[in-house]
Amino acid sequence: MNKVVVVTGTPGSGKSTVVDGALKKLKELGINYELQNYGDAMLELMRERHGVKDRDDMRNVPTESYREIQREAARRIAKAAEKRPVLVDTHSLVKKPEGYYPGLPSWVLEELKPSLIILVESSAREIEGRRARDGSRKRDKEMLQTVEEHQQLNRAAAMAYAAISGAAVRLIQNRDKRLNDAVEEMVSALR
């Protein structure tokens, strides 16, 4: 089996919403992916090892330990893919105070061995609006220019990840009031 598909997107792009919709439609078609949230897998390990309380606090874990936890989380996800296809909901880049870090560095890609990387995108204005309406997270307020920069870097990172892993890259636009289009495109990619 060992089919792993990675789905990434800038926070606020609607990645998780598109994933949820696609998984429901796929299930109706008899195609069952196991959803693994990479950040949740890392959080579980960081709680055990560093007493981290929430996902937003993960950015404060020292870099070396962060890297070890990235690899261990990837191993756990790859193990799940031995039983059925896995869809990994994650971020292409992690923005920390000192700059951007790859969300899928080579040591993570070596463990996951993805066959496809899907990048969900939206306009910077749409992302800004969604972030403003999401009271469930403690996100830093960013300027539109920073959101655009993040998305440009996500594209570059996705192609670098593809070069390392041999995975294909697919871009899906998730526009406001066009969620069903994005869901259908993801279903098509995952069939």
pLDDT tens-digit profile of 125-184?
A: 998 888 777 766 554 556 788 889 999 999 999 999 999 999 999 999 999 999 999 999
User: For residue 177, which amino acid is it?
Assistant: K
Q: Is 125 helix (H, G, I), strand (E, B) or coil?
A: helix
Look at residues 74, 82, 85, 5 and name the one whose alpha carbon lies nearest to residue 42.
Answer: 74
The alpha-helical segments, DSSP class H, found in the chain are 15-28, 38-50, 63-80, 106-112, 124-133, 144-165, 179-190
pTM over 0.95: no
The CATH label, of 1.10.10.1100, 3.40.1360.10, 3.30.465.10, 3.40.50.300, for the domain at 4-190 is 3.40.50.300
Q: What is the pLDDT of residues 19-50, one digit of tens each?
A: 999 999 999 999 999 999 999 999 999 999 99
Residue spans per domain, the chain: 4-190
- Residue 119 is classified by DSSP as E
